[in-house]
Amino acid sequence: MTVSGSIEPTDLSPLAWRLLRVAAGYEQRAVERELDDIVQAHISMLESGSRALSMSRRQTLLELYTAELSTEQVTAIAENF
């Protein structure tokens, strides 16, 4: 089971999204280069709480971020933020 399989994208707060990205070592522009259908504005809106992305985009982001993190890191961020 992947780390992201135990965390639901809908359970993450805007701050948790930002912390996952930063912990995984991504700047917003780097994510944009990694994922074709996600742009910096999408990430900014998700992290500010001003707009929710589609479930498929959130799942793609979660998989990208959690590939770089341990289960413990992801769980700590998801549960505490």
Residue % of the chain over a pLDDT of 90: 74
pTM: 0.88
- Its domain, for residue 12, covers 3-80
Mean pLDDT computed over 34-51? 91
Mean pLDDT computed over 56-76? 92
Which are the contacts of 46, defined by CB distance < 8 A and separation ≥ 6? 14, 17, 52, 53, 58, 61
pLDDT at 21 over 50: yes
- Domain total for the chain? 1
Residue 13 phi/psi, 5-degree rounding, is: -80, 165
Taking alpha carbons only, the member of 79, 72, 74, 76 closest to residue 61 is: 74
**CB atoms < 10 A from the CB of 49, how many?**
11
Residue 6 pLDDT: 77
Residues in the chain: 81
Average pLDDT, the chain: 90
CATH number of the domain that residue 41 is part of: 1.10.260
Residue 2 pLDDT: 47
